[in-house]
Structure 1
Amino acid sequence: MSTAEHVREIETAWRGGTSGRDPYVIQSWRRCLDEYHLDPAVNCEAVILPEGRLKEHRQQSEELINIARSGLERLFGHVSGQNYVLLLTNRQGIAVEYFGDPRHERDLRKAGLYLGADWAEARAGTCAVGACIATGEALTIHQTDHFDMTHTPLSCTAAPIYDTTGALSAVLDISLLSSPREKISQSLARHLVTTTTRRIELANLMAQTSRQWVLRFALSPEFLDVDPEGAIAIDHSGRIVGMTNAAARMLAQAAGLDWRQPEMLLGQKVSQFLNLEVDGLPNLTRGRPTHERVLRARDGRMLFAHAIEPPPRSRARPPSAPLPPALREIGQTPEINQLLEKAARFARTTLPVCIHGETGTGKEVMARALHAASGLKGQFVAMNCAAIPETLAEAELFGHVPGAFTGAAPKGRKGLVEAANGGTLFLDEIGDMPLILQTRLLRVLAEQEVQPLGGNNPLPVQIRVISASHRDLAALVAEGRFREDLYYRLHAATLTLPPLRERADFDWLVERLLARHSPTQRRLTPAAWAALRAHHWPGNLRELDHCLAAASALCEDDEITLSDLPETFSGGDPDSEAAQLRAALAQCQGNVSALARRLGVDRTTVHRRMRRLHLKRHG
């Protein structure tokens, strides 16, 4: 087929004309034209990421690569000698693992069947990896199914890999440089990749849910213990906490739901989908013959099941490594300690960290603590993306050479990125960064170099980026106001800081902050304490810090009274929140679970509020 004939076929299909292609091919062609504005007459040559960027993608996928490697090696052994190539890509379409014949390395690299290849549909056009990511289904893109003539010699088959929460996490692709046979010849290849992805998902579920029951199932008893079709993880209360994709489809079909909405499956009782209660799981272990371990789904299908009991929990928990000094000052509750242990592990890596939390929850304090605990020799450099006008932000971030623009410093100016070289660049309120700066920042992170405004010579930089936002960045991505590729690059690791009103160490925080502003160790009167505990604190730690600083300045002796606090604290009943919560609890006869349901929060939130307000349950 010539290029002109291929282009005409795509245009005909785009207009709604008849075509013998599979529907998912036509849909991909239309996405390439309508969404990505690609031209089928222009070749999209293969792109191989530079080593630095590939390393970042591989680091983010390291756990999955390790779990998948044995399955990939086994599959490659099955097809050895048939010129197949295996690619494992992440959800962005970047090949993070590769198996191919080294004798054909040059041709494979040129074709993009190589480690680090970018197979995102928006860049490469119609291809198996990109179409698989878009549809979530196993499929084959054979020769002229591809969008442009660059890849038409290839025959590529891909299958999705889902994580335990039902989200697409990777794609396994098996490809041939050339295939003279018809598309149907790749049916075996599709069977092989779907079988391998099913086994990878199962191995990942077993690794991620070692503390829960795992229920494997098959349609035939002969394969139940050796090659099950799917599996779910079940907690001690009988709720589903993890699943493979085949299991998600089975559960959804049993209840008349959509498997593409995993939130409708996770957290639900297993009895909603199967004639099984949690107490019945021990009857499905290997103590009984496989043909006797039978279940029925709610839609009437019969399944053979194998329940795997979690190992007994060790009573003695191994001691955690001591927290770095910089992190010890942030809080002291079990929830906060768990967060800080996670932060300490992140601090020792080069992963970008994104800190979420309401305004004033201490995101910059956490960022500085991460830097201090990292051991980096460079500086901690902070930029508030919401506080600098858009016209100045670019020069502030990237710097400029002398005379770069009207009003530029005569000697030029070093930007914040360059100033952070060897250290940490903290981008606060990253959600307010203009799109043009997002594009330039992405290039800096990808290429590890910065070019000042007006300059011609890029400067190499090595920076650790920590970002923070009180906004929902995923929603901004969906709205087109934040770059998706930058979102994933910044979200290699995340930390979420709780609001002050939910922290059980409120009194400890007050005392720590008060000590900063009160060298003479002033105390709070009971009325002042009650007013502070009853306040909602929309400004969180920052509001509390300012409140105590002002009270310390106004206080004339060793005690801070209610009159020393800002006016908003002295008007009205300082115990109003406690009184309201006490009344609501009484109406629920002291039942915390009932109160939590009434308030629309979980039980731990109610318990935290009760501890903060010094309330006890009665009745």
Structure 2
Amino acid sequence: MSRVAARWRRSMVKYGLDPALATGRERLDLRSIAQRRERMGELMAVAAPRLDQLYQLVCPTGCSVLLTDAEGIVLDQRVSDADSATFEKWGLWSGHDWSEASEGTNGIGTCLVEGRQVAIHRDEHFFSRNTGMTCMDAPIWGPDGRVIAALDVSNARLDHNERWNALLTAQVAQTARMIEAAYFRASFPQARIIISEGETPEQALLIAVDRNDLLIGANRAARRTYGLEPEGAIRPRPASDLLGREDEATGFEQAERSTVLGALARANGNVSAAARALGVGRATLYRRMSRLGIGENPGKLSQL
């Protein structure tokens, strides 16, 4: 069975939808929209500048940019004034429900159900009223390892070929990962964030470590790579248990070494100033330097 056929079957069997009997589009009232936006306020705040950047790239091509919650409700949007009436008519507008249960196979709903990046082109949509659109979507994963939102770019351009849509799809995925990383940092404001690049940008590993060197958070990629809890809160554990020894340095440990050396360089070798910048005590920083193989006096470090 093809992927499109499997998705259509899910729309019919799981959700009981009939492609020939599309009901009216579902849209929440203003109060319900406001409540959802309030619950997602922190994510929306960190996502806003990234949505703006994405919109500046895709606006000239007649695309809209949407951010939804995990249930497929549109919470934020970017669309040109000239195209606003058209996109609102299509339901690509704040408060509309684009879950698979409501619209069958579509970019937003299918992305959320499958938990991965999708592109739904025109007649791949379940309902005929949506077949004029091409929708490119990527899930946004929260610090708890669960999908919390979807990022969507949609258009109805007939002159967009597969290569152009592939470029847009890649840009959507990159922006979604940027939002994830920004939200991860915002979720652990007092922690030190260690980043290790995976084989692709989508696989970047992020962990949060507190001032006692305890691991307190990890993004989805890190959870999967290091066998941590797949969802929910991370059980605090010594970061050294994850980072390993210098003679078997992991990507995390290499990233931590770079972070420490960078802080020392910015502080002109002043260990106390570097420790303050990293949010740790001087003694803690010396212990980390020792564990990471950073000499007692690299570059004539000051101990003041």
TM-score relative to the length of structure 2: 0.75
Inter-CA distance 110–124: structure 2 relative to 1 (3 Å threshold)? same
CA–CA distance in 1 between the matches of 2:177 and 2:235?
19
1:126 alignment counterpart: 105
1:97 alignment counterpart: 76
Over residues 27-71 of structure 1, what are the superposed CA-to-partner deviations in whole Å (9 max), with x where a residue is unaligned?
Answer: 322221111100011234433322222112212111111110011
> Residue 208 of structure 2: which of 218, 233, 252 is its match?
233
Unaligned ranges ≥5, structure 2: 247-251, 264-275, 282-304
Inter-CA distance 264–89: structure 2 relative to 1 (3 Å threshold)? closer
2:123, 2:131 within 8 Å by CA — same for their partners in 1?
yes
1:106 alignment counterpart: 85
Q: Tell me by how many angstroms 1:101 deviates.
A: 1.1
Inter-CA distance 280–155: structure 2 relative to 1 (3 Å threshold)? closer
CA–CA distance in 2 between the matches of 1:108 and 1:37?
27
Paired residues for 1:193-272 under 5 Å: 193-218=172-197, 229-248=204-223, 252-253=224-225, 255=226, 257=227, 261-262=230-231, 267=236, 269-271=238-240
Amino acid at match of 1:231: L
Over residues 137-175 of structure 1, what are the superposed CA-to-partner deviations in whole Å (9 max), with x where a residue is unaligned?
Answer: 111111111112010111001111111111211111111
Inter-CA distance 131–288: structure 2 relative to 1 (3 Å threshold)? same
Which structure has the larger Rg over C-alpha atoms? 1
1:282, 1:309 within 8 Å by CA — same for their partners in 2?
no
1:108, 1:177 within 8 Å by CA — same for their partners in 2?
no
Over residues 542-590 of structure 1, what are the superposed CA-to-partner deviations in whole Å (9 max), with x where a residue is unaligned?
Answer: xxxxxxxxxxxxxxxxxxxxxxxxxxxxxxxxxxxxxxxxxxxxxxxxx
Amino acid at match of 2:116: E
Q: Tell me by how many angstroms 1:126 deviates.
A: 0.6
Paired residues for 1:119-518 under 5 Å: 119-183=98-162, 185-218=164-197, 229-248=204-223, 252-253=224-225, 255=226, 257=227, 261-262=230-231, 267=236, 269-271=238-240, 273-275=242-244, 283-285=257-259, 287-288=261-262, 310-311=278-279
Amino acid at match of 1:35: K
Say which is worse superposed, 92-101 or 186-195, in terms of deviation: 186-195
CA–CA distance in 2 between the matches of 1:232 and 1:70?
23
Q: Tell me by how many angstroms 1:207 deviates.
A: 1.4
Q: 2:15 is paired with a residue of what secondary structure?
A: coil
Inter-CA distance 237–126: structure 2 relative to 1 (3 Å threshold)? same
Inter-CA distance 190–279: structure 2 relative to 1 (3 Å threshold)? closer
Over residues 184-205 of structure 1, what are the superposed CA-to-partner deviations in whole Å (9 max), with x where a residue is unaligned?
Answer: 5421122111111111111112
Q: 1:54 is paired with a residue of what secondary structure?
A: helix
2:29 alignment counterpart: 50
Higher RCO (CA-CA < 8 Å; seq separation 6+): 2
Inter-CA distance 151–177: structure 2 relative to 1 (3 Å threshold)? same
User: What percentage of aligned pairs have identical amino acids?
Assistant: 26
1:211, 1:310 within 8 Å by CA — same for their partners in 2?
no
Over residues 437-468 of structure 1, what are the superposed CA-to-partner deviations in whole Å (9 max), with x where a residue is unaligned?
Answer: xxxxxxxxxxxxxxxxxxxxxxxxxxxxxxxx
CA–CA distance in 2 between the matches of 1:99 and 1:162?
21
1:44, 1:150 within 8 Å by CA — same for their partners in 2?
no
CA–CA distance in 2 between the matches of 1:212 and 1:123?
40
- Superposition RMSD on alpha carbons, in Å? 3.4
Say which is worse superposed, 180-189 or 163-172, in terms of deviation: 180-189
Inter-CA distance 48–178: structure 2 relative to 1 (3 Å threshold)? farther
CA–CA distance in 2 between the matches of 1:282 and 1:205?
17
Amino acid at match of 1:30: R
CA–CA distance in 1 between the matches of 2:39 and 2:234?
27
Inter-CA distance 157–282: structure 2 relative to 1 (3 Å threshold)? closer
Q: 1:75 is paired with a residue of what secondary structure?
A: helix
2:144, 2:233 within 8 Å by CA — same for their partners in 1?
no
Inter-CA distance 148–266: structure 2 relative to 1 (3 Å threshold)? farther
Inter-CA distance 264–104: structure 2 relative to 1 (3 Å threshold)? closer
Inter-CA distance 92–172: structure 2 relative to 1 (3 Å threshold)? same
Inter-CA distance 263–105: structure 2 relative to 1 (3 Å threshold)? closer
Q: 2:83 is paired with a residue of what secondary structure?
A: helix
CA–CA distance in 1 between the matches of 2:30 and 2:193?
39
Q: Tell me by how many angstroms 1:136 deviates.
A: 1.0
Q: Tell me by how many angstroms 1:218 deviates.
A: 2.3
Inter-CA distance 282–64: structure 2 relative to 1 (3 Å threshold)? closer
